[in-house]
Structure 1
C-alpha cells in the first residue's frame, strides 16, 4: 500500500538524515506530518572582514511550516505542542572563521560583547525556531560560508537541518534539510573595481564630520538601510540608492556580470532559479529589477528598497492569478492552505527547480522530482477533488476517458486524452475500484498521456487511476 511504501521511504530517509514527511500508522487511520523549510531571500551577503567598513553582518533567516494531515480531513498547519530545532551539519562554529565578534560591539553600539557564535538577535548556529502565526522562524543565524573542515573555499549553499519534535516526549515528527545561503562576495576590492576599502572611505573625506580613519564604520549608520532597520542621515540618502546611483554608468549596463561585481557573485551565482537557468530565454537580474540607473531612479521616485520589489503578479509577468497578496512581498505572501509561496516555489532567486542541487533536495524527497511542490498527496492524505493553488482546475481530478487495454505478456496499456492546461499526470494502481487513496501505489509522474504497466500474472485483477498533477 502507499502508506507502507511511504513509511519505508521515510525510514530510508531517516537513515540519511532527511525526513520531510513522516507517516504514522494507527490502528484505523493514517496520519502524517510534512515539514517545509526555506530561506527568506535566497542569498545573504556578509562582509568577509569587519575591520574597515561594514555593509552587512552575518545574519541569516530561515522559515518553516509544519503540515499535519489525517485521513478524512484537510491538512492543517501546526505550531502548538511542537517545536522545530535547527542545526547546520558540518558548520558548528563561526567565531574562528571571521573577525565579526572582534568588532560587533563597536559597530552596532551593543551594551556588551556578543558571546562567541551568537548573532545580533541572540540566536546561534543551533537552537529552536520561534513559533509564530502559522509558521516558525529563526532570524540572525550568524553563519559564514566556510565549513569546519575547509576554511579557505566558500560553500555558499550549505544545508540547515530542521527537526519537528513533539514537545511532550521529544518524538521526531518530521525532518528536512534546506539551503541556508551565505556568501562573502561583497566584491568592492575583489571585483577589481577599488584598490582597497580604505580608498572607498577616503572618497568621503569632504563630508563634514566624517573621519575615514575612524574604523570600523557601519555604512548604514549614515546611509539608511531597510535591511538593517537604520534611519541614517536624510541628506546622505539610503545605501541602496547611493550604491546604485554611483555605479549607474558601469558597463555593460544590462548584464548579470555587472550585478555580480557586488552581489554574490562570480563564484556563488546566487540567481539560480528556473527563470534564470531553466527556460529558453533566461532572465537576468535586470529583467525584474532594471539596470542600476533604473534602481536608483525608482528610489528617487519613492520606491522603498527591500520593501517595494518586483511583483510576480505584474501584468507583464505571471498575471493577477499568480500574484502575491496585496501590498505584500513574495517572501511574505501566503496562498493555498496558508502555505507561504516559498514553501512550494522555493526562495527568491532560487525558484524551483534550481540549478543548485541542494535547493532541490527537499522537493525531490517529497515528490520524487525537482520543481514546484505540486503533488497533492505530499500534504493531503485523501486526494482532493477541488481546485488547487491559484485556482487551478482540479489538480488531482481523475482524467475522464482513461482507456485500459490488456496486452500479451502480462502488460496493461493505459491511455487518455490530454487535459487542457495540465502538464503532468500521476498514474496509480489500486487493489480495488473503491480503494482509499492511502492504498494507491504511485507508478509514474509523467507528461505523456499513455503508460505501460507490467502485471504479475495474466489473471491478476488490477485497477488504475490517472489524476492531473500540475499545470
Structure 2
C-alpha cells in the first residue's frame, strides 16, 4: 500500500504460521512454521487479504520459557497412612514468545510436558510405585484420581506428552498439581528432575522446546524432635507424649504417630477440638483414627492458603488457627537437640532446614544463596527475607501471601543483604524499578511469582523461581538459560525474544537500554544531558565506572567508532572503558588497547589507586602530627 489512506493495520489468522508487519509503505510477511494462514492489510479505505502457505518452518523463530512456580515443592513422601501435610502436587508454568514480533503467543499452539533424562541419566516417569498416596487419597481428600494422576487431573510427567492449559488470567500455560516425587526410576533420590516442554502449532510443527526442573523434596520432616528415642537429651525428649513414645518399627510412621498422640494430649478437654474431630470424622481422636486406617489431613481443620491458592482446595474450620501459625508460632521456642538453641534464636538456615527441604535438598540454591560477607560467611539466610520463625507464625500474617518482595532489597542501585528490619518487618522503599506487581494475586499483596514485567513476561520466566533465581547451584536449573542465551543466569539477552534487537534507551526490562554493538555504536545521544547521565548512573555507578548492575555476564567484544572493545565475564561496564568519562570524546587508541589487555591494565590501575590513597593518608598523618 504505497498510497495508503490513513492508518494501516495488519493481522494474521494464525501468527504461529505467518506474521505480517507494515512499515514505510511495505507489508512484510514472515513465515514462521509450515502451514497455511491468511494475512490482512487494511487502511481507512481498502482491505487486502492474501492466502499464505509456508512450506518450511523458520528456525529459531520462537523462544519457550518455563518454570516451576515455587522453586521447591514439598511432599509427605512415601507414606500417607498416618497424616498428610502436603500431597504430591507440583505446578509447571510456561510462556511462548514469537521472536519476529517480540509478543507472547497465547493461542493457536499446544504446549505439552514429558519426563526427560538429565546429564547423569536420572529420569522420573512414574510416581505410583514410589508412594502409597493413591491408596489413601480418597480417605484424605475425598477424591479418586487414577494412579499417577494428580488431585487436579494432570498426570505425572511420563514418556507420553501431557497437555498444558492456557490461563488467560495470568497469561501463561500451566499444568497444576503434577504428582511427582523425589525418587527417580532407579530409586535414586533426585529433588531436581527434568521435564521437557514442547510447543507446537496447529499443524503439529514443533515451534520451540525447553527443559526445566520440577523441584520436589520429601525432606519436610519433624523427626529431629518427634522420633521415638531412648536418649537422655532433654531437648530430644521435649516433645515426648505423656503416654510415651510410640516406637513404631517403621521410621516413616513413628514420628508421625508421636505427633498425633501429642496433638490429642495437648487438646484434651478442648470443646472446639472435640467438635472439629466429630465434624471431620475423627471422633475417636487423631491417633486412634490413624491406627484404625483413617489418616489425618492437617488442613481439614487448619486453613492453608497453599491449598486454596494453588489448587482451589477448601481448607480449615473457623476458629482454628491457620496451619502456618499453628506450626511456626508453637515451634519458635522449640530447642534444637543438636545445638541447644531455640529455633527462634537461630539466624541461619539450620533452623528452617530442620523441617523444610533441607540440609540435603538445599532448596535455597539461587543467586542469593551463595552471597558471602567480607569474612567469607554466608550473608543471606532464610531469616534475611522471612524474619525469625515466630514472625512467620504471627497472627497478623497471611500464609503464602505475606511474603518478602524484590524491592525490599533492590532499590536506588543498591542490593541489600536483608529485606527486613531488626523486628522482622519488611523494609519499604519508594524506588519501584525492581518492584513486584501490586495487588497480585489479590488485593493488598505483592508476590514475585505472580508478577509480570517486560513484554508481559512473568518475572519468573527470566529470573527463575523463588529460592532458585538464576544462576543456581543445581546444574539442571541452569539448562534453560544456557540454551536460550549461551550462559547460566538471568535471561537478559535481547536476542532471546527479539529476532531484530529494538533500539531503545529505556524500553527494556526494568527501564534498561538495548544491549549489543548497535547500542554501543549509537548511544551518545542518550547521554548528552545531565538528566540523561543521571539515568545512566543508576546501573553504571555514580562515578560512571561501573557497578554490579552493569556487569557483563559473558565475554563480549563490541565495535565502537571503528575500534573493538572487549570485556571478560564479570567485568563492570563504565564510561571510562572507552571515553574520558561520561562527557568524554571518542574512543582513543590508548583506551582501546587497554581494553584488549584488560587484566594487566585493571591490575595496574588498582595498584596505582591503592598507592595514591596510601600516600594521601600518609600526608594527612604527617600534617596532623
The question of 1:422 aligning with 2:550 is answered yes
Alignment of 1:40-51 (within 5 A): 40-48=69-77, 49-51=79-81
Task: For residue 367 of structure 1, report the CA deviation from its aligned partner.
Answer: 1.1
Query: SS in structure 2 opposite 1:34?
Result: strand
**1:77 alignment partner, one of 90, 93, 104:** 104
Q: Secondary structure at the match of 1:327?
A: coil
Structure 1 residue 149 and structure 2 residue 186: aligned? yes
Give the helix-richer structure, 1 or 2: 2
CA distance in structure 1 between the aligned counterparts of 2:91 and 2:480, rounded to whole angstroms: 18
Q: Distance in 1 between matches of 2:358 and 2:512?
A: 37
Match of 1:324 among 436, 453, 459: 436
Match of 1:132 among 156, 167, 170: 167
Matched, 1:59 2:89: yes
Equivalent residue, structure 2, for 1:18 = none
8 Å contact from structure 2 (residues 33, 205) kept in 1: no
| Unaligned runs of at least 5 residues, structure 1 | 1-22, 403-416, 434-441, 452-465, 467-471
Shift of 1:394: 3.8
SS in 1 for 2:439: coil
What aligned pairs does 1:385-396 form with structure 2 within 5 A after superposition? Answer: 385-386=503-504, 387=506, 388-396=508-516
Q: For 1:19-42, what per-residue CA distance to the aligned partner results, in whole angstroms no more than 9, with x for missing partners?
A: xxxx97989987611000000000
Distance in 1 between residues matched to 2:104 and 2:568, nearest whole Å: 29
1:363-407: CA deviation from partner (whole Å, max 9, x where unpaired): 0111111111111111111112112101124444622599xxxxx
Identify the range of structure 1 (420-429 vs 381-390) with the bigger mean alpha-carbon deviation: 420-429
Structure 2 match to 1:234 = 318
Aligned counterparts of 1:29 and 1:234: Cα–Cα separation in 2:
57
Alignment correspondent of 1:275: 368
- Structure 2 Cα separation of the partners of residues 185 and 28 of structure 1: 45
Shift of 1:293: 0.9
Cα distance per residue 1:322-344 (max 9 Å; x no partner): 00111221001110000000011
More strand by share: 1
Matches within 5 A, 1:154-169: 154-168=189-203
Work out whether residues 546 and 572 of structure 2, in 8 Å CA contact, stay in contact via their aligned partners in 1.
no
Pair 1:225 & 2:304 matched = yes
Q: 1:315 to 1:92 in 2, by over 3 A?
A: closer
The two structures, once aligned, show a CA RMSD in angstroms of 3.0
TM-score by length of 1: 0.77
Q: 1:118 aligns with which of 133, 137, 149?
A: 149
**Who wins on radius of gyration, i.e. which is larger?**
2
Structure 2 unpaired stretches of 5+: 1-31, 35-53, 117-122, 229-254, 278-284, 309-313, 335-341, 416-430, 441-446, 524-543, 579-594, 596-625
Say whether 1:172 aligns with 2:206.
yes
Distance between the aligned counterparts of 1:264 and 1:29, measured in 2? 43
Distance 1:262 1:248 in 2: 12
Match of 1:447 in 2: 571
Instruction: Return the alpha-carbon distance in structure 2 between the equivalents of residues 203 and 445 of structure 1.
Output: 56
Which residue does the alignment assign to 1:261?
354
CA distance in 2, matches of 1:37, 1:316: 24
Q: Deviations over 1:426-454 (max 9, x none)?
A: 43689xx9xxxxxxxx9986637789xxx
Please report how far the alpha carbon of residue 132 of structure 1 lies from its aligned counterpart in structure 2 after TM superposition.
Answer: 2.3
Preserved contact between residue 162 and residue 177 of structure 1 (Cα < 8 Å): yes
CA distance 1:255–1:77, shift in 2 (3 Å): same
Compute the displacement of 1:179 (Å). 0.7
Figure out how many residues of one structure are paired with residues of the other and give that number. 394
Give the Cα separation in 2 of the matches to 1:28 and 1:142: 35
Corresponding residue number in structure 2 for 1:99: 132
What TM-score, normalized by structure 2, do the two folds share? 0.59
Give SS of 1:399's match.
helix
Q: Which residue of the partner structure matches residue 399 of structure 1?
A: 520
SS in 2 for 1:85: strand
Name the residue aligned to 2:404: 310
